């Protein structure tokens, strides 16, 4: 049974077929901001919030809208919902992990979003680095792995739930270690600055 939800916003009506993806992003429909930067998860959001700090100087993320975590790539495949967000916001920027590109590419095309203007793939095209964590310096991984070897082994588990849980725990540990040890500048943020500079160019042209 399909549950049809009517959302009235800015004098327009959207009919959305209820799905788990709507749960992930419902609050974005009611934001008062004119600009929205979508990121996959809460850790992605925290990295980008760090980059908004003035201490990064010319490399800071120069974005005055809301950064919103949409809870996983499958949200982007709900094109009806995404079309409404595109109409609602004067600026809508979508980001996702590089390893999710094959899963969301058709949705980006359907939404008529352009790469490196409206949507951005985050990560480095190397094994284990096709996500925002791939932008971290190696010392963060070395420190976390050394202290959490059992958790690292669990990521290779044949039990999907166990492996996913371990990966999520490691993501949080990477973030904590980075926040604790990093300082603004290329030594720790070099790869992140490449991302912010690309994003900033898009913000200025939209």
What is the b/e burial string over 59-74, where b = at least 16 CB atoms within 10 angstroms of the residue's CB? bbbbbebbbbbbbebb
Q: What is the mean pLDDT of the chain?
A: 89
To the nearest 5 percent, what fractions of the chain are helix, strand and coil? 55, 15, 30
CA 38, 109, 100, 118 torsion-angle sign: negative
pLDDT at 12 over 70: no
In this structure, the number of other CB atoms found within 10 A of the CB of residue 90 comes to 10
CA angle (111, 116, 120) in 5-degree steps = 75
> What local confidence, expressed as pLDDT, does residue 28 receive?
83
Alpha carbon distance, N-terminus to C-terminus of the chain: 40
Confidence of residue 123 (pLDDT cuts 50, 70, 90): very high
Instruction: Write out pLDDT tens, residues 181-193.
Output: 999 999 999 999 9
pLDDT digits (tens, 9 = 90+) for 51-78: 999 999 999 999 999 999 999 999 999 9
Among the listed residues 204, 174, 205, the one whose alpha carbon sits nearest the alpha carbon of residue 192: 174
Which pLDDT tens digit goes with each residue over 38-47?
A: 999 999 999 9
């Amino acid at each position: 049974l399909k549950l049809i939800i009517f959302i009235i916003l800015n004098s327009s009506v959207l009919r959305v077929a209820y799905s788990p993806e709507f749960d992930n992003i419902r609050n974005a429909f009611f934001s008062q901001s004119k600009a929205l930067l979508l990121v996959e998860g809460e850790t992605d959001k925290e990295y980008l919030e760090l980059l908004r700090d003035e201490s990064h100087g010319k490399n800071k993320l120069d974005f005055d809208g809301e950064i919103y975590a949409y809870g996983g790539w499958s949200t982007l495949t709900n094109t009806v919902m995404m079309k409404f967000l595109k109409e609602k916001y004067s600026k809508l920027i979508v980001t996702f992990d590089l390893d999710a590109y094959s899963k969301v590419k058709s949705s980006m095309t359907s939404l008529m979003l352009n790469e490196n203007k409206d949507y951005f793939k985050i990560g480095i095209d190397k094994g284990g680095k096709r996500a925002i964590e791939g932008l971290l310096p190696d010392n963060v991984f070395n420190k976390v792995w050394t202290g959490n070897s059992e958790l690292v082994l669990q990521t290779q588990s044949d039990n999907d739930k166990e492996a996913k849980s371990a990966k999520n725990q490691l993501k949080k540990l990477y973030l904590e270690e980075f926040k604790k040890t990093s300082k603004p500048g290329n030594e720790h943020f070099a790869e992140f600055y490449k991302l912010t500079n690309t994003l900033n160019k898009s913000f200025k042209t939209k």
